[in-house]
Amino acid sequence: MPIRISYSSREGIFNKCERKFQLYKLLAGTYEKEEAAHFSHGHAFGAGIANYFLTKDKARAKLACWLAYWPNILDEGYSAYHSCIILEGAFPHIDKLMAEGWELARFNDLPAIELSCRLNINPDFYEVAFLDLAIFNKRLNIYAVFENKTTGSRLNDITPMYKNSSQTIGYSICLDTISGQRLANFGTFTFVAQQKSKDITNLEY
């Protein structure tokens, strides 16, 4: 039976030792799924951004963010309230994109949120990916992959962390298939909320 690979596992144990990854998958039922506050925070922030693209309503987006903070792990620097504050700071940046003509794409009349796709690597492995969002610009007539990220990195320039990511290469293949056209030109947005310290006001986007 083919074994499923995700982007996070490919960047971790799979690239270090393929056999160890296979054993980990076979014994997966004996492990508890890792839960951490930063996972809840990232999920909540992404849900809020997606809802804002969908509804253009800040209040509804913050509610979606709050409800998506799960498991409700309260850690120093992380909470549903914290995620909503960071989301609120992101609104002007999303408004700017919308003013430039970007909007949430729709396929089969459904909003392009958390689009799933499967890439068959070989008979033994396949990769499953989930695009945070696909957006479309009517003026430019192009689609784009839109990925949400959160980080606590203190680097002054985090561009190298995300530029030319292998993650977006696979996503571009998925977007080709989902849109039903070969996309010679497509955009890639990695929208990062960076909190450099425990001070919640020390934010960059």
Provide CB contacts within 8 A for 82, sequence distance 6+. 41, 200
Segment 9-48, tens digit of pLDDT = 444 554 556 555 555 555 555 445 567 888 899 999 999 9
Reduced to 3 states (helix: H, G, I; strand: E, B; else coil), residue 61 is helix
Distance linking the first and last C-alpha atoms of the chain: 42
Instruction: Quote the CA–CA distance of 133 and 71 in Å, as a whole number.
Output: 23
| Dist. CA 62–CA 76, nearest whole Å | 21
Helix axes 58-68, 80-99, angle to 10 degrees: 140
**Among the ranges 51-55, 120-124, 199-203, which has the highest mean pLDDT value?**
51-55
189, containing H or E segment: strand 187-195
Average pLDDT, the chain: 79
DSSP 29: G
pLDDT band, residue 170 (cuts 50/70/90): low
Q: Which residue has the higher pLDDT, 180 or 194?
A: 194
Which spans in 56-143 are helix H? 58-68, 80-99
Q: Which residues lie closer than 8 Å to 116 by C-beta, 6 or more apart?
A: 128, 129, 130, 131
Write down the H helix ranges in 69-103. Answer: 80-99
